[in-house]
Amino acid sequence: MDTVIPKLVVVKGLSAQTYCITSDSISLGRALSNDFVISAEGVSRIHARIFKVGSGYHIEDMGSTNGTFIGEQQIKKETELRDGDVIGLGRSVALSFVFPLKPEKEAAQILDLSDEAEPVIRSAIDSGEREPSPRLISTIEIPSDIQFLRRTYQRLALLYQVNNSVGSMTDLDQLFERIAVIVVNLKKADRVAILLQDEQKELVPAVVKEKAEGAVHHPMHVNRAIVQKVIGEGIGILSDDGNDPRGAEGHSGRGVIGSVICGPLKRKEKIIGAIYVACLNQNEEFDEEDLKLLIAVCNEASIVIDNAYSYREIEELNKGLEEKVRQRTADLERALENLKDAQLQLVQSERASAVAQLLSGIAHEINNPVNYIMNGIDSLSRYVRELRWMNESYCQAARQAGLDLSEIEAEADRLNFSEHMSMLSDLLLAIHDGARRTAEIVQSLRGFSRTGESEIKEIDLNQTIDESLRLLSYRLKEGVTVEIEKGDIPLHSCYASQMGQVFLNLLDNAEQAIGQDGRILIKTWCDPSWVFISISDSGKGIAPEIIPKIFDPFFTTKTENGGIGLGLSISMAIVKRHGGDIRVQSEPGSGTTFTISLPREAKPGAAERG
């Protein structure tokens, strides 16, 4: 069962306000120390106290000067409060105690909407009629009917209470609840039901109240014919209704009740429901003045109901507008992301094309002299071997012939001929190794120059990493070591040159992050679904606030080195295009690790097509 919070609603003497009772005991009075401070004439500093007893609440006067009242009765001792009680603090302030104990059954289950014969109507009043404004005449007649004055005062007081109590309410459920509490506290009223008519013209009870318990626990009999006539014709009806199951004086069984009055509720001149009030006392039946009073309450309530419905419509309209704004914002954000992706791809394509042309030209220009060197080294090595053999053969023949070679040998010692001949082989071998390495670099440049290729092929990722390292080897500082832990990973289908560009970018970043001494660690491994490549460095790390931005296009922290902030964004775009992702882990001072994850069942370009 939902928790019901009791409330105190100002109905007289103060501006309209509601105080929720959220503790087991509260004090009321003028002093600032009170829980509910009431600054009004006639209210004592500490006037009264309301406190919880079991599941209900009691009130006691705290020795106030002007007394505490429930209705017209001044309380002398602790008194139980009921839902709808009007608490008077002196004669200047009145508060309505609202504490509806939620019935176990819904309003629809505590109504007996009977289909009966047309009721006997004692009086019917058009709810749209207003009493004519009095004309000013030369003499003013003061009515001598005290009862008339009393009724007029009661009507004005009740309308003031309705306006002051519910005038600012926007929640329809609370509004109907409050109106029912006010109406059921009319002098002759015993039970009240507020019924609304749905789109299918069916009557739906909004709230049902009983003066004795506050909420009806037994089915309340409502004559459907009366309600339908009120709604259909827009009139107020006073009628004898002879079939309330509780009967007179609250006894069980079907019996005769006193009377009922029923008035229409409107919204924008359209009748949406009715207030149905029953009197169970046959000795004190409703009369036409009671019906007029109910119609006045219905008219006042209709204004507030119309405002509440309008507020609800505005809220729904605002929600709709907010949803449209959110949707439009989301569309714009997606469009912006698509624009960024298109821009990045265009930059990548243009950059790749320019780099490809440059690398292709460099590779071609270097390749020809390297080929000459490689071919010449082979021939030169053979010639050196032959000359060495010829020199040794001549020297041996001269010695056998008894020739004096002392001068030649002395000159050879002076020139360190033997040492030079020994070093010549080492020099030729070093030149050969250098030329071979240059040829490998040229081959790698040729591979990276094909960045615009559209062909997807299976490559060995470990081999591609080796090629990237060879291209960067000239930049590695002497104190930087590179370690590779190659796993047994399968061949991977991808755009080969693009994947090489990713490795080159990440290795280049790792080299720049390290000072004079450091370590780069490369690992490759896989699981049944993914292939992983991690590149770690022992550099200075990345600040936490920067990590979310490092893959953004044109974001860079290396402006002094000419960086334009596209390396990582292009790398991420390439990996995403292959269905993978790049994760980064870094702590300032502890280095950085970039981990690439690629699906084993690769579908390059799937992200673009999707």
Tell me the per-residue pLDDT of 391-430, one tens digit each, with 9 for 90 and over. 888 888 887 887 777 888 788 778 777 777 777 877 888 7
In a domain, 396, yes or no: yes
Residues 365 and 483 in one domain: no
Last residue of one domain, picked from the residues 432, 448, 464: 448
Last residue of a domain, one of 77, 98, 119: 98
> Which pLDDT band holds residue 604 (cuts at 50, 70, 90)?
low
Distance CA 355, CA 81 (A): 87
- CATH number, domain of 547, equals 3.30.565.10
DSSP track, 534-575: EEEE-S----TTTGGGTTSTT--S-GGGT--S-HHHHHHHHH
- How many independent structural domains does the chain possess? 4
Q: Please report whether residue 73 resides in a domain.
A: yes
Residue 320 lies in a domain: no
| Whether residue 537 sits in one domain with residue 475 | yes
Q: At which of 416, 448, 480 does a domain end?
A: 448
Residues 267 and 354 in one domain: no
Does residue 133 lie in a domain region?
no
List the single range of 10-24, 264-278, 496-510, 553-567 with lowest mean pLDDT: 553-567
In CATH, what number is assigned to the domain containing residue 92? 2.60.200.20
Taking the whole predicted model, whether its pTM rises above 0.75 is answered as no
Report yes or no on 124 lying in a domain: no
Check whether residue 52 and residue 89 sit in a common domain.
Answer: yes
Q: How many CB atoms lie within 10 A of CB 286?
A: 24
- Residue 369 is assigned to a structural domain of this protein: yes
Average of per-residue pLDDT across 291-316: 82
Q: Do 84 and 207 belong to one domain?
A: no
509 and 415 co-located in one domain: no
Q: Which residue would you say has higher pLDDT here, 582 or 20?
A: 582
The answer to whether residues 283 and 415 belong to one domain is no
Residues 533 and 464 in one domain: yes
Are residues 299 and 160 part of one domain?
Answer: yes
255 or 387, which is more confident: 387
**In a domain? residue 356:** yes
Q: Answer yes or no: do 266 and 281 share one domain.
A: yes
The CATH number covering residue 159 comes to 3.30.450.40
Q: Three-state DSSP class for 225?
A: helix
Mean pLDDT, rounded, for 72-94: 89
197: β partners? 203
- Name 120's bridge partners: 240
Residues 581 and 479 in one domain: yes
Structural domain range at position 32: 7-98
**Do residues 521 and 485 make contact, with C-beta atoms less than 8 angstroms apart?**
yes
Which is higher by pLDDT, 218 or 366? 366
pLDDT in the model for residue 274: 92
Tell whether 568 and 485 lie within a shared domain: yes
Kindly state whether residue 120 falls inside one of the protein's structural domains: no
Q: Which of 98-102, 331-335, 520-524 has the lowest mean pLDDT?
A: 98-102
